[in-house]
Amino acid sequence: MAQERTLSIIKPDAVAKNAVGDIISRFEKAGLQVVACKMVSLSQEKAEGFYAEHRERPFFNDLVSFMTSGPVVVQVLEGDNAIAKNRELMGATDPKKAEAGTIRADFATSIDANAVHGSDAPESAQREVSYFFSDEEICPRG
């Protein structure tokens, strides 16, 4: 299987619930390695840029307000099939539709306050990782 990197964000609702450790533990137990990690408070501009592809969607302003409502933990996860594995661990966007045992089923409150973000494809993973991290900030574990 392909070694991949993906961007994960633990969103403000999950940080506020003190669920950072529980969520990272799920990544590690599934065989993903954290190769970069930081807590940041996103500016409006940074959040808008990150979600630029959703700019025309009706929920865009609410999404940006939510993502700037408190600190987030941004990480790069590395491992076999990391992009799909992370999406599987996260569960469906709407926690009501997320499979039992997934992060969103266990920690999300609603479709907007849904605990985590994960890149959805190799191209978006590459763009999103470099949106938050320089090469020097990523520490491959081998």
Give me the active site residues, please: 117
- Provide φ and ψ at 86, rounded to 5°: -65, -45
For residue 37, list its beta bridge partners: 75
Q: Is 59 annotated as contributing to ligand binding?
A: yes
Residue 87 vs 134, nearer CB to ligand IDP: 87
Strands 3-10 and 33-40 turn out to be unpaired
Q: Is 104 annotated as contributing to ligand binding?
A: yes
65 near ligand IDP, rule: CB under 6 A:
no
Strands 116-118 and 3-10 turn out to be antiparallel
Among 2, 16, 40, 59, binds ligand IDP (CB under 6 A): 59
CB of 40 to ligand IDP, least distance (A): 17
Residue 22 vs 112, nearer CB to ligand IDP: 112
The Cα 139–Cα 121 span in angstroms is 22
Residues at the site binding ligand IDP, with contacts judged by CB under 6 A: 59, 63, 93, 111-112, 114, 117, 120
